[in-house]
Chain A
Amino acid sequence: MFGPLFAKPLSSKNNKTGSWRTTKKPKFLQTNCIACRMCVLICPEGCIEGEQKNTYHCDYDYCKGCGLCAEICPKQDIVMIEET
Chain B
Amino acid sequence: MREFLEGSQAVAKAVSLCRPGVIAAYPITPQTHIPEELSKMVAEGILDSQFVNVESEHSAASLVLGAVASGVRAYTATSSQGLLLMAEVLFNIAGLRLPVILTCANRAISSPINIWNDQQDSVSLRDSGWIQFYVENIQEAVDFHFIAYRLAEDKNVMLPAMVCMDGYILTHGLEVVDIPTQEEVDKFLPKYQPPYKLDVENPLTLGVLADSEYYMETRFAIQKTHQEVLKILPSIVVEFKNIFGRNYSDGLIECYKTEDAEKVIVAMGSVCGTIKEVVDALRKRGKKVGLLKIITYRPFPRNKIYEVLKDVPKVAVLDRALSLGAEAPLYSEIKSIFFGKKRTPKLMRSFIGGLGGRDITLDSIETIFKKLSLKEKEEEFIDLKQELLKEKL
Which residues of A does B touch, CB under 8 Å? 1-9
Main SS at interface, chain B: loop
Whether B155 sits at the interface, judged by CB under 8 Å, is yes
In this complex, which of A2, A3, A5 has the most chain B Cβ atoms within 10 angstroms of its Cβ? Answer: A5
Kindly count the residue-residue contacts between A and B in the assembled complex, taking CB atoms under 8 Å apart: 39
Q: Is the CB of A6 within 8 A of B203?
A: no
Kindly state the separation between the CA atoms of A3 and B69 in the bound complex, as whole angstroms.
13
Which residue from chain A places its CB closest to the CB of B218 in the assembled complex? A5
A12 to B204, CA, bound (A): 13
Return the chain A residue nearest B204 by Cβ.
A6
The answer, among B205, B206, B218, for a CB contact under 8 Å with A2, is B218
- Is B225 touching A1 in the complex (CB atoms < 8 A)? yes
Hey, which chain A residues are within 8 Å of B217, CB to CB?
Answer: 2
Contacts of A5 in B (CB 8 A): 208, 210, 214, 218
Tell me whether A1 and B205 are in contact (CB under 8 A): no
Across-interface contacts of A9 in B (CB, < 8 A): 203-205
Taken residue by residue from 2 to 32, chain B's Cβ proximity to chain A (1 for < 8 Å, 0 otherwise) reads as: 0000000000000000000000000000000
**In the complex where A1-B156, A1-B225 touch, is A6 in contact with B195 (Cβ < 8 A)?**
no
Quick one: given A1-B155, A1-B156, A1-B158, are A6 and B225 in contact (CB under 8 Å)?
no
| B interface size (C-beta, 8 A) | 22
Q: Chain B residues near A1 (CB, 8 Å)?
A: 155-158, 221, 225
A7 to B209 CA separation, bound complex (whole angstroms): 10
| Cβ–Cβ < 8 Å partners of B155 in chain A | 1
Residues of A within 8 A of B158 (CB): 1, 3
A4→B203 contact, CB < 8 A:
no
The answer, yes or no, to whether B381 is at the interface (CB within 8 Å) is no
B154 nearest CB across to chain A (Å): 10
Bound together, the chains give a CA A4 to CA B204 distance in angstroms of 12
The 9 closest A-B pairs by CB, nearest first: A2-B221, A4-B97, A7-B205, A9-B203, A6-B204, A4-B96, A6-B206, A7-B208, A5-B208
Given A1-B158, A3-B97, 10 new contacts (CB under 8 A): A1-B225, A2-B217, A2-B218, A2-B221, A2-B224, A3-B196, A4-B96, A4-B97, A4-B218, A8-B204
Among the listed A2, A3, A6, which residue makes an inter-chain contact with B208, where contact means beta carbons less than 8 Å apart? Answer: A6
Residues of B within 8 A of A7 (CB): 204-205, 208
Bound-state Cα–Cα, A50 to B195, Å = 39
Nearest CB on B from A13, distance (A)? 13
Contact B204 A3, beta carbon cutoff 8 Å: no
Tell me the bound Cα distance from A7 to B217 in angstroms.
15
B224-279 residues with Cβ-Cβ distance < 8 A to A are 224-225
Give Cα A5 to B220, complex, Å: 13
Q: Are A4 and B196 in contact (CB under 8 A)?
A: yes
- Report the minimal beta-carbon distance from A4 to chain B, rounded to whole angstroms: 4
Q: Which of B157, B196, B221, B224 contacts A6 (CB 8 A)?
A: B196
15 A-B pairs with CB atoms under 8 Å apart are A1-B156, A1-B157, A3-B221, A4-B98, A4-B196, A5-B208, A5-B214, A5-B218, A7-B204, A7-B208, A8-B204, A8-B205, A9-B203, A9-B204, A9-B205
Check A3 against B206 for contact (C-beta < 8 Å): no
Distance in Å: Cβ of A29 to nearest Cβ of chain B:
37
B95 within 8 A of A: yes
Alpha-carbon distance A7/B207, docked complex (angstroms): 9
Provide the bound-state CA to CA distance between A6 and B155, in Å.
16
Which of A1, A2, A8 counts the most chain B CB atoms within 10 A? A1
Alpha-carbon separation in the docked complex, A30 to B195 (Å): 49
Residue of A nearest to B156 (CB): A1
Q: Mark B184-209, 1 if CB is under 8 A from A, else 0.
A: 00000000000110000001111010
Query: Are B205 and A6 touching (Cβ within 8 A)?
Result: yes
Report the minimum CB–CB distance from A2 to chain B (whole Å). 4
In the complex, per-residue mask of B77-97: 1 if CB is within 8 Å of any chain A CB, else 0 = 000000000000000000111
Which of chain A's residues have a CB closer than 8 A to the CB of B97?
3-4
How far, in whole Å, are A2 and B224 apart by their CA atoms in the complex?
9
CA A15 to CA B156, docked complex, whole Å: 33
User: Which residues in window 128-159 of B have CB below 8 A to A?
Assistant: 155-158
* CB-based nearest B residue for A1: B156
B156 cross-chain contacts in A, Cβ below 8 A: 1
Report the minimum CB–CB distance from A25 to chain B (whole Å).
Answer: 29
Distance, CA A8 to CA B203, complexed state (A): 8
* Min distance, Cβ B164 to any Cβ of chain A, angstroms: 24
Chain B residue nearest in CB terms to A10: B203
